[in-house]
Amino acid sequence: MLLPVVILSWLVLLLPPAVSLARSGTAPSLDSLRLPFMGMLIVVAHAIVGFALGSFLPRLIATPVVAVVDWIAIAFTRATQPYWLRHVSGQFSDIGFGEVPRFVSVAAPVLLAGGVAVGLLLLWVPFGPRVLRGVLALGVAVTGVLGAQHLARDWPHTPPMATGRAPVDCTGVHPQVCLPRVASENLARTQREAADALRTLHAAGVPGAAPERIDDPLNGPAEAGSGDQVWRLSLMSADRPHEAGYQVMVRALKFRCAQVPLVRARSVWLWGATRTGQVNMYQERRKREGVTPESRQIESRVSDQVRDILDRSPAEQKAWIRSNLDSCAGSTA
């Protein structure tokens, strides 16, 4: 009796993504099947609960009431606290690129719905005294609910997620550059820009060793102990020439102080952009921040200072860049 309902619900759940995958010629990965499999189990559990309620209530009442109450109870958990209420409901609306819910995250909603469903099923087992079956059913249902709450009670707004699960392509050495496969069409150019910028800055006297690898943050969190050997830069969005090189240049010009005077910081960046051939990208970034009379005055001071520095000898430029990266003196103007 429940089989047509379950099959129809599965089709609603699985058919749209299946059609999308078929049209794009993409095969589903094992990670991508976690949420659909969780949904299939929850569908079965909800069907059992609805059938049980329909066995005790008139169908004309049970069907609309159960449908509305079920929808409201799940949908409104997104706007309520504590957070564990939404985590045990089975909602996952904040999944980022390369992320997949951990098994414990999908276990919580399955445990809640499944515990209640199995408890109701025990009421129909044709063995043993009815009172014993009732006690056992209540125990299973309560265990499922409390177990789900125990798993999710300390989770923040976002449940435990596994990150960096998207396929990654890498190329080059010193540095090796790694990008998600969906954005790797410009991988060779990105690696070349990164290597050229690092080599130019090192020759100009910028201190610090070059990284072994440059990763996009979407590739997942940095490995423990990687330190300055692995840089995390937003390279996936750097689809135009010089964007990746500019990011590498800014990262390589690492100031010793957390708070750096604005004129000093921009003078260092403009000097680095000039040495690496990325002045246009530097100017574009400044325009994105907005052009005001004050910003024009600051850029005028920056340009005059950098023009003076570039007229000096390589040894003097090397001393200047090291002094500006290391010094914490100066105003915040």
For 168-189, what is each residue's pLDDT tens digit? 999 998 899 999 888 888 899 9
Long-range CB pairs of 70-75 (<8 Å, 24+ gap) are 70/46
Q: What is the pLDDT of residue 90?
A: 86
Residue 270 CB neighbours (<10 A): 23
What tokens appear for 132 in the block? 């014993």
Q: What is the pLDDT of residue 113?
A: 94
Q: What is the pLDDT of residue 174?
A: 86
Q: What is the pLDDT of residue 128?
A: 77
For 120-131, what is each residue's pLDDT tens digit? 988 888 887 888
What tokens appear for 291 in the block? 């052009």
Q: What is the pLDDT of residue 333?
A: 31
Q: What is the DSSP string of 77-133?
A: GGGSSSTHHHHTTT------TT-EE-HHHHHHHHHHHHHHHHHHHHTT-SSS-HHHH
Straight-line distance from the first to the last Cα atom of the chain, in angstroms, rounded to the nearest whole number: 75
For residue 270, give the nearest of 297, 244, 300 by alpha carbon.
300
Q: Which residues in the chain come in under a pLDDT of 70?
A: 209, 222-227, 329-333
DSSP label of 162: E
> Partners of 161 in the beta sheet?
101
**Residue 264 to residue 262: CA distance in whole angstroms:** 5
pTM greater than the 0.85 cutoff:
no
Handedness of CA 328, 250, 253, 179 (dihedral sign): positive
